[in-house]
Amino acid sequence: MALVLGIESSCDETAAALVTHDRRIVAQKIASQDEAHAPYGGVVPEIAARAHAERLAPMIAAVLEEADVSLADCDAIAATAGPGLIGGVMVGLVSAKALAMASDTPLIAINHLEGHALSPRLADPELEFPYLLLLVSGGHCQILRVEGVGQYRRLATTIDDALGEAFDKTAKILGLGFPGGPAVEKLALEGDPQAVPLPRPLVGSGEPHFSFAGLKSAVLRAKDSGKYGDADIAASFQRAAIDCVTDRLRMAVRDHGGCPALVVAGGVAANASVRGALTDLAASYDMRFVAPPVPLCTDNAAMIAWAGCERLGQKGFAGDPLDIPARPRWPLDPDAEPVRGAGVKA
């Protein structure tokens, strides 16, 4: 049975995990750097890279020890090779290359977005291709048709901010600190989602994409007006963001139907209101709704190891070359049409 070591270091989580191809997470560890970045209100790339460099090797050793296996027992070593903060990605990828070389084990360079995209299959053995995926994280907001391992068709993306970024900026405006998404979700529970009139950018538009920059500016104006309480702003923001997401998904289902399952992945998939709205949406189209358990939504190494298992299972695949580069940008669907305002999030 294939056993894959996974390494994740593309943003502010250092993580290592061992996963089998029959979906068992044998061991995993994750260290967040929230405290190191909190004073700056966001992730500082150099601080992140230095923290990965300090923590990753002992973490890998601890994961192997916990599972009572050695590198020689692993069938492959999978590491995030992009997209992400390049310093951190290099720490993880170069570590994986060194371990692969030393143990004569295949290296698998994983696209972090592919890790998120396939993560729902780690938790749900019944989830088959194709599925319609909403991938919502701090850096990305996309709708994809996942047709198979390595086969991702991007149907929509954001023309400005990602959804997680909009949550983080709203948190900053409301003085909720970092990371922002969970804090906005918590405060929203105490507010009225109808209290603050906020825009729903691109809702009803004939193009399939997302836009959240105008919503964030409206949140800032609402706060500056002094007319609304923070909880009402948080709740109204979350409601507006969810309305945008469900509208864009309705368009995707209408224009690219035929998938039996609606799936969500990425950090924002941890949000209970988002999950609730998508559950209702899927039911209204007779689609199955699949969301990974919350710890698999935010960045982790089990999803990278699992993506490695999926790649390893592909016919003829024997590993990636040792000179494969770390990539700060790496679109999942390189053939996707560029969007208006291109140059932003691919």
Are residues 345 and 158 in contact, defined by beta-carbon separation less than 8 angstroms? Answer: yes
Beta bridge partners of 25: 19
For residues 194 and 228, the answer to whether their CB atoms sit within 8 Å is no
* Distance of closest approach, residue 265 Cβ to Zn ion, in angstroms: 9
**299, 10 contact by CB (below 8 A):** yes
Is residue 83 a contact point for ligand KG4 (CB under 6 A)?
Answer: no
Q: Which one among 138, 201, 208, 331 touches ligand KG4, defined by CB under 6 A?
A: 138
Q: Is 11 helix (H, G, I), strand (E, B) or coil?
A: coil
Cα–Cα distance measured from residue 338 to residue 324, given in angstroms and rounded to the nearest whole number: 25
What's the closest the beta carbon of residue 83 comes to ligand KG4, in angstroms? 9
Residue closer to ligand KG4 (CB basis): 295 or 313: 295
Confirm or reject binding of residue 170 to ligand KG4 (CB under 6 A).
Answer: no
**Is 137 an interacting residue with respect to Zn ion (CB under 5 A)?**
yes
Question: CA-CA distance, 116 to 292, in Å (whole number)?
Answer: 10
Nearer to ligand KG4, 75 or 185 (CB): 185
> Does the protein bind ligand KG4 through residue 42 (CB under 6 A)?
no
Q: Which residue has the tokens 């360079």?
A: 109
Q: Which is nearer to ligand KG4, 241 or 251 (CB)?
A: 241
Beta carbon of residue 102, minimum distance to ligand KG4 (angstroms, whole number): 29
Using CA atoms in the order 89, 94, 99, 104, what is the torsion angle rounded to 10 degrees?
120
The residues in 289-308 that bind ligand KG4, with binding defined as CB under 6 A, are 298-299
Q: Which residues is 310 bridged to in the sheet?
A: none
Q: Which residues bind Zn ion (CB under 5 A)?
A: 137, 299
Q: For binding to ligand KG4 (CB under 6 A), which residues are involved?
A: 11, 137-139, 164-165, 167-168, 179-182, 185, 266-268, 270-271, 298-299
